[in-house]
Amino acid sequence: MRSLLITNIGELTTHSDEGTRTDAAMIVTDRVEWIGPATSPHAADEIFDAQGAAVLPGFVDSHAHLVFAGDRAAEFAARMAGEPYTGGGIRTTMAATRAASDADLRSNVARLVDEMRRQGTTTVEIKSGYGLNVPDEARSLRLASEFTTETTFLGAHVVPPDVPRDSYVELVTGPMLRACAPHAKWVDVFCERGAFDVDEARTVLAAGMAEGLLPRIHANQLTEGDGVRLAVELGAASADHCTHLSAGDVAALADSQTVATLLPGAEFSTRSPYPDARRLLDAGATVALATDCNPGSSYTSSMPFCIALAVRDMRMTPAEAIWAATAGGARALRRSDVGHLGIGAYADLMVLDAPSSVHLAYRPGVPLVKEVLHKGVWVR
Ligand SMILES: [Zn+2]
């Protein structure tokens, strides 16, 4: 494979033993091969002059719901006019998704993945969860797997209106799971009042694990509950949302390998209180940031936007937020080959139109991601 020298890097953030360097250079193929000072002699097939710009790992968006049709702009407008968010709109998207053709669903995923890439995301997790029957959940995961290896079976998103509750859990843990497992790496459940209680969630995740899927969980988004403790009990890679946590939840996360994945786009778009990232970090928990991109509660594909929210409203430092959006996301997906730029990692990175990564939070809403490299290939 051809080698690429990226030189005159003003600030190189690696999240590895290589540290954060100034006036740096790196040589990559599909992986990171060498890192050193810009002044040292080096040769490669191609040269890219970063002209003093900041370079950092590509974002790892570890939580996104991209397989859907339609949008819910009217619901958003109503919410901003004072109506509360309940999660019931998921059924609106379910109907649109079931009615859509494969081609329409695929082109919507492609549009969103491209939108993410242009904003620096090089790894994305994609969930099912808007089909809510056997053929449409399996179809959602087949389509998702065309775009990423990080596919998540979320048949237990909500109970669809056309199936009784008990028989839906049986469906999700039986025929639906068997149809979906071949296309999925992860199993997930929306553990929340109005969705699935903790016993149902345990049943869903245990069934998925028995089929070889790895657990993750939507936990403690709208209310305090037992979701986070279930995630820790099962050794889940991630407990996602973590907005309403007891002191026991925070301690349990800090003592575990389970990442607390915070999704501030959801609180922004539902005008809700943000999770307390500072409390989690000070306790020693591992924190990730992700978009939760979905048409109802968080229709943003922008990791820089989430970083800006986390810094401004969740008391994270810029460095902590950027780590959470890259290395933290990789931890939440149990990946060691992305989210950092150590030697041997995938050459997934972005070049900013700024001299330091702090600008991602300091200049919110500004399109600072200038170039994106994915596995050694320029994709923007
Ligand atoms: Zn979600």
Q: Is the pLDDT of residue 42 over 90?
A: no
Encode pLDDT of 133-147 as tens digits: 999 999 999 999 999
What is the Å distance from ligand 1's center to 291 Cα?
A: 9
What is the Å distance from ligand 1's center to 158 Cα?
A: 12
Tell me what the mean pLDDT of segment 194-198 comes to: 92
What is the Å distance from ligand 1's center to 33 Cα?
A: 35
- Length of the chain, in residues: 380
What is the Å distance from ligand 1's center to 50 Cα?
A: 36
Encode pLDDT of 318-369 as tens digits: 999 999 999 999 999 999 999 999 999 999 999 999 999 999 999 999 999 9
pLDDT band of 83, cuts 50, 70, 90: confident
What is the Å distance from ligand 1's center to 101 Cα?
A: 23
What is the Å distance from ligand 1's center to 60 Cα?
A: 15
- Give me the pLDDT at residue 88, please: 65
pLDDT band of 223, cuts 50, 70, 90: confident
Encode pLDDT of 149-185 as tens digits: 999 999 999 999 989 998 999 999 999 999 999 999 9
What is the Å distance from ligand 1's center to 157 Cα?
A: 9
What is the Å distance from ligand 1's center to 203 Cα?
A: 19
**Distance between CA atoms of 303 and 123, rounded to whole angstroms?**
11
- Give me the pLDDT at residue 274, please: 97
H-state helical runs in the chain: 73-80, 90-99, 102-118, 134-144, 165-173, 175-180, 198-210, 227-234, 247-254, 264-269, 277-283, 303-313, 318-323, 329-332, 359-362
Encode pLDDT of 53-68 as tens digits: 999 999 999 999 999 9
Among residues 137, 132, 139, the alpha carbon closest in space to that of 157 is found at 132
The one-letter code for the residue type at 18 is E
What is the Å distance from ligand 1's center to 188 Cα?
A: 9
Q: What percent of the chain has pLDDT over 70?
A: 99
Q: 3-state DSSP call for residue 9?
A: strand
What is the Å distance from ligand 1's center to 160 Cα?
A: 17
What is the Å distance from ligand 1's center to 103 Cα?
A: 24
CA-CA-CA-CA dihedral for 335, 339, 345, 351, to nearest 10: 160
What is the Å distance from ligand 1's center to 174 Cα?
A: 23
pLDDT band of 86, cuts 50, 70, 90: low
The pTM of this model reads: 0.97
